[in-house]
Amino acid sequence: MKILVTCPPMLGLMDEFYSVFEKHNLTGVAANVTQVMSEDELVEILPDYDGWIIGDDPATRRVFEAGKSGRLKAAVKWGVGVDNVDFKACKDLGIPITNTPGVFGREVGDVAMTYLLGLARETYRIDREIRQNKAWPKPSGVSLWNKTVALVGFGDIGRSTAKRLLACDLKVIAYDPYYKADASLDVETAAWPDRLGEADFIVFTCPLTPDTQHMFNAGTLEKLKPGVRIVNVARGPIIDEAALLSGLESGIIHSAALDVFEVEPLSDTSALRKFDRCIFGSHNGSNTVDAVRHVSHLAIDHMAGFLAQRG
């Protein structure tokens, strides 16, 4: 049985996984994709596969219906985020599906902390100036020990990020409607957007849902402390980029570090590019060799289990 893989981090190490597929009597097939495949592309090719390991592709009802009309018997969403996957369509069509929850907390937490430090001390900007302009800049950064972070999301990634923030003597206010206290993490809590005016940094680690889409918007700007720094390692549409641009242009927002965007890859003409204190990533926060190996093995195991049940 053939399994289509469209997840870029897994594809980056795909040579390691062909033998793992074979141990389960499966054939892994690497898609030709940089970030995501289009809905039309998936509709065309998915019917030829028995299983699909999904990245951030548009896993819509139309795509699953096309797959079901052919050979598709099971699917696995690689990683944690599931906002791009129509689970109800799978249920209606009788296609078993799961994701790999509870992974990447440490890896994404590391990136969130790296970005926050980069914004605080402008280390990325210094590097660019030295390399590109042969300059020798010495911007005055800000210390962390007397600063407050609004941490949006307190799941696995949020808690891992909080652990790192607290280690740097930052005060943390956690925002999560499903907040569960962790005795090892000395954080305060609030309901969004209460107390945002206290925050020197805002860090987004929450999932994308109808409630979180554009939760940072034009109305949020008037609640911010001037000079706040924004980090997003969650999903791009959580931030309304028009509002973010407005805040950057006015100076209310000092800078932003974005691993994710509303539209990916970031357009060559994006107005965000003119702000040289900002830091941009490529939706790569979870991508370490160790994590990719771990999660890819989980995904293959889940797929093999589904297909064994289906006979």
Distances in whole angstroms, Cα of residue 102 to Cα of each of 200, 238, 282: 29, 21, 22
> Which residues have a catalytic role annotated?
235, 264, 283
In the numeric block, the tokens 């299983």 are attached to 51
Indicate the Cα dihedral angle 194, 200, 201, 207, nearest 10°.
Answer: 0
